Amino acid sequence: MLVSFVSTILGSLLSVCITCLLAFAVTLIFRTSTTTNFAQSSIAAFGCYTVAWLFAKGLPVWLGAPVGMIVGAAFGIFIDNFIFRRGRYVGILSKQIITMGFVSVFFGAIPLIFGNPESIPFEPLYNYTKHGVSPNIVIEIAGGELVVTKHALISATITLVVLGAIFYLLKNSKWGLSVRTTASNEQTAQLMGINTHKVTAISWALAAALGVLSAVMYAGSGVMISATFMGAIQVNAFLACILGGFSTFYGPIIGAIIIPVLANAVGFLANFKGLEGIGRWQMVIVYSIILLVILIKPEGLFGKKIVKKV
Amino acid sequence: MKKNYITIAAGLMLAALPFVGLSSSVVFAMGTTLIFAVMTIGFSFLMGYGGLASLGTAGFVGVGAYIAYFVVEVYKLPISVAFLITVAISLVMGVLVGFISLRIEGIYLALLTLGLSEILRNTFVSIKATIKINTSTLKMLGMPVGELHIYLLIVAVFIVLMLITTNLINSPIGRALISVKNSPSAAQAMGISLLKHRVLAFVVSTVFAAVAGLLYMLYVRNITTSSTQLFSIITSLNILGAAVIGGAKSLWGSTFGTFLIYGIQSMFLSKIKFFVQNPAFITMLTGVLIIIIVMFYPGGLAQIAMTLKYKIKNLSKKTNVGGAL
């Protein structure tokens, strides 16, 4: 029983990686530009389509992914530099609505540019069938089997390396210091001589690139690509952010680990007698638990309470 | 008072549409657009006057649609019963969200309502993935009801809700709401109850959304929950977009915004070959329009209209001066 429980939890490894990357991207933009980027998933989908298009032209996915990330980053910089900085009266709510406008733009542009989205061929980061290797790793422990897909392991390694590097830079580099300063107060940061325009532009580029990376990982697991295919992940990422609290960078990551693990743990309950039908209610239960936690602790699990001044 | 007469006149004009020889597809498109306009009015009240952002519209629309399905199709009860149940349940939900909004504010509240809406959507998919109403079971006051009757019902509901909202805004309650929006602390210091007004704002938007869902179910009669965008975040975002494009502080402005987002495509552009082959083009255009309006006219189309009116007024004044000289 225990082994099969561990196996179920391991099954959420890939969605943990995807949600982590997206949640970090959302937090990064929220902290530096004080807005939630609804277009995160659409930019990611666009980048993923670019990778798929290159794949159809013969370029393997692991080579195409950096290209897709660069395309995504270009969109990120475009939104920050040419839309947010040029608008005459762009406040917090207007920024949100502009990103929402971009959702529509991408929903329209993707079918126009890449054609009908029906079943686009894609491959995992490492193509097992071509190399004649089994896609799963099976470990036998205590009379049970632990099954992990190699794709999930590769994705986890990449996620760990990328997020580890970013967190190290955030803590120890000059860039990290300027991001943290901008996040705490943009005006003061400007007064201290930090080029906040550059900081937000890099944040947008980084966030969009991470979004594309997570989309490539998700598509590699065999999900059908469409303009909306990252939508559900984005909702999870948003909820992970408020669950962990926007006020720290690591809070959302922990939230993003909790949600998929919790979902699989709830799904595991279906093995017990009388709870067979719980699979259908999986997400309802998970979201309800998250909502309850947020109601009890509105600033998030790791958030700091903000004192309001009149 | 004058405003009320204009609203009623507009309602009569809308009700006359099917009788002046317009094709049924155009009337159908008008009907669905009006349903979305009902959601937008409620949302504009919440955002423009309550100052609260919600992304939960889609979930409450679903509540109305599912109540309509279960009451009318499964239990074979008249539409009026479905109406009463929808209003009652959505009222309770609105009060609930209103209470939540006292604890959580701003972007957190928007994302929380998004979570609530996702819970509702997942619940709907688990309960029943496809809901369908047979035309023969639709009855109002004991009479069989066709599509035309439902259209007239939609217009009536739209106008009544419009009148209620306009008068709410121009009453002491509306002024109290604006003061709460501008500064909750200052409003409380003046003796205005935060709880009462927040709850009211959420009740209005929730009930309107649920009623719109009920009307949609009666009018379209066939919804596949798992594949439709109606109950997903897309609808919530589109309603938000409509309110912003039109101007959240003007009810007719946001109605016009709804028309831009939902109406134009189904009413006019569906006749032109290019747009039929590339429906995505309009989605893209809507997005570009939203971005441009938000960038340069934060008050929406209503603000543009007001500026134009002002300029024309000034123009006529200048010519008068010129004439006197």
pLDDT digits (tens, 9 = 90+) for B1-60: 678 888 889 888 888 888 887 788 888 889 999 999 999 999 999 988 888 888 889 999
Q: List the single residue in B103, B126, B241 with the smallest CB-CB distance to A97.
A: B241
Distance from the B73 Cα atom to the nearest Cα atom in chain A, whole angstroms: 24
Task: Report the distance separating Cα A142 and Cα B63, nearest Å.
Answer: 48
Task: Report the distance separating Cα B135 and Cα B133, nearest Å.
Answer: 6
Distance from the A134 Cα atom to the nearest Cα atom in chain B, whole angstroms: 33
Task: Flag if A102 and B287 touch (Cβ within 8 Å).
Answer: yes
Task: Report the distance separating Cα A297 and Cα A144, nearest Å.
Answer: 39
Instruction: Please name the residue of chain A whose CA is at the shortest distance from the CA of residue B105.
Output: A298
In the structure encoding, which two tokens stand for residue B175, read together? Answer: 């002024």
Query: A235-288, pLDDT tens digit by residue?
Result: 899 999 989 988 889 999 999 999 999 999 988 888 887 777 787 888 889 999
Pairing of strands A136-141, B139-140: unpaired
Would residue B301 count as lying in a domain? no
Q: Is the Cβ–Cβ distance between B262 and A65 less than 8 Å?
A: no
The torsion angles phi and psi of A137, rounded to 5 degrees, stand at -110, 125
Residue A119's pLDDT band, with cuts at 50, 70 and 90, is: low
Task: Report the distance separating Cα B323 and Cα B325, nearest Å.
Answer: 5
Task: Flag if A281 and B126 touch (Cβ within 8 Å).
Answer: yes
Would residue A297 count as lying in a domain? no
In the structure encoding, which two tokens stand for residue B299, read together? Answer: 């008050």
Query: A58-108, pLDDT tens digit by residue?
Result: 888 888 899 999 999 999 999 988 888 876 667 777 788 888 889 889 988
In the structure encoding, which two tokens stand for residue A29, read together? Answer: 């933009």
Task: Report the distance separating Cα A119 and Cα B275, nearest Å.
Answer: 24
The pLDDT of residue A100: 83
Query: A169-190, pLDDT tens digit by residue?
Result: 999 999 999 999 988 888 889 8
Distance from the B287 Cα atom to the nearest Cα atom in chain A, whole angstroms: 4
Residues 6+ apart with CB under 8 A from B155: B11, B14, B15, B34
Q: Provide the 8-state DSSP code for B299.
A: T
Distance from the B82 Cα atom to the nearest Cα atom in chain A, whole angstroms: 25
The structural domain count of chain B equals: 1
Q: Judged by CB atoms within 8 Å, which residues 214-243 of A form the interface with B?
A: 228, 231, 235, 238-239, 241-242
Would residue A136 count as lying in a domain? yes
Q: H-helix or E-strand containing B17?
A: none
Q: Could you tell me which of B235, B228, B234 has the C-alpha nearest to residue B209?
A: B235
Residue B40 sits in which domain range? Answer: 2-267
Task: Flag if B284 and A112 touch (Cβ within 8 Å).
Answer: yes
Would residue A74 count as lying in a domain? yes
Task: Flag if A112 and B103 touch (Cβ within 8 Å).
Answer: no
Q: Could you tell me which of A185, A171, A206 has the C-alpha nearest to residue A24?
A: A206
Q: Is the Cβ–Cβ distance between B280 and A109 less than 8 Å?
A: yes
Task: Report the distance separating Cα B233 and Cα B192, nearest Å.
Answer: 33
**Residues of chain A with C-beta less than 8 angstroms from the C-beta of B127:** none
Q: Could you tell me which of B136, B152, B214 has the C-alpha nearest to residue B17?
A: B152
Task: Report the distance separating Cα B92 and Cα B107, nearest Å.
Answer: 23
Give which of A30, A36, A97, A294 to mutate to test B binding, by max B Cβ within 10 Å.
A97
3-state secondary structure of B144: strand
Residue A308's pLDDT band, with cuts at 50, 70 and 90, is: low
The pLDDT of residue B140: 67
**CA neighbours closer than 13 Å in the CB half-sphere of residue A255:** 34
**CA neighbours closer than 13 Å in the CB half-sphere of residue A169:** 11
Distance from the B104 Cα atom to the nearest Cα atom in chain A, whole angstroms: 6
Task: Flag if A105 and B111 touch (Cβ within 8 Å).
Answer: no
3-state secondary structure of B218: helix
Would residue A274 count as lying in a domain? no
The pLDDT of residue B325: 46
Would residue A57 count as lying in a domain? yes
Beta strands in chain B (DSSP E): 130-132, 139-140, 143-144, 222-224
Would residue A273 count as lying in a domain? no
User: What would the 3-class secondary structure string for chain A be?
Assistant: CHHHHHHHHHCCHHHHHHHHHHHHHHHHHHHHHCCCCCCHHHHHHHHHHHHHHHHHCCCCHHHHHHHHHHHHHHHHHHHHHHHHCCCCCCCHHHHHHHHHHHHHHHHHHHHHHHCCCCCCCCCCCCCHHHHCCCCEEEEEECCEEEEEEHHHHHHHHHHHHHHHHHHHHHHHCHHHHHHHHHHHCHHHHHHCCCCHHHHHHHHHHHHHHHHHHHHHHHHHCCCCCCCCCCHHHHHHHHHHHHHHCCCCCHHHHHHHHHHHHHHHHHHHHHHCCCCHHHHHHHHHHHHHHHHHHHHHCCCCCCCCCCCCCC
Would residue B227 count as lying in a domain? yes
The pLDDT of residue A117: 58
Would residue A305 count as lying in a domain? no
CATH code of the domain covering residue A166: 1.10.3470
Q: Is the Cβ–Cβ distance between B96 and B35 less than 8 Å?
A: no
Task: Report the distance separating Cα B79 and Cα B68, nearest Å.
Answer: 8
Residue A113 sits in which domain range? Answer: 2-259
Q: List the single residue in A104, A235, A288 with the smallest CB-CB distance to B287.
A: A104
pLDDT mean across residues, chain A: 86
Instruction: Please name the residue of chain A whose CA is at the shortest distance from the CA of residue B97.
Output: A295
Would residue B96 count as lying in a domain? yes
Task: Flag if A108 and B287 touch (Cβ within 8 Å).
Answer: yes
3-state secondary structure of B140: strand
Would residue B40 count as lying in a domain? yes
Give which of B54, B93, B100, B119 to mutate to test A binding, by max A Cβ within 10 Å.
B119
The pLDDT of residue A74: 95
**Residues of chain B with C-beta less than 8 angstroms from the C-beta of A247:** none
Spell out, as residue ranges, where chain B has pLDDT lower than 50.
323-325
In the structure encoding, which two tokens stand for residue A282, read together? Answer: 């999986």
Would residue A44 count as lying in a domain? yes
Would residue B223 count as lying in a domain? yes
The structural domain count of chain A equals: 1
Q: Judged by CB atoms within 8 Å, which residues 109-128 of A form the interface with B?
A: 109-112
Would residue B44 count as lying in a domain? yes
ipTM above 0.90, yes or no: no
Task: Flag if A98 and B291 touch (Cβ within 8 Å).
Answer: yes
Give which of A80, A96, A104 to mutate to test B binding, by max B Cβ within 10 Å.
A104
**Residues of chain A with C-beta less than 8 angstroms from the C-beta of B114:** 235, 238-239
Instruction: Please name the residue of chain A whose CA is at the shortest distance from the CA of residue B229.
Output: A228
Q: Could you tell me which of A242, A241, A277, A284 has the C-alpha nearest to residue A262?
A: A284
Q: List the single residue in B115, B233, B298 with the smallest CB-CB distance to A89.
A: B298
CATH code of the domain covering residue B98: 1.10.3470
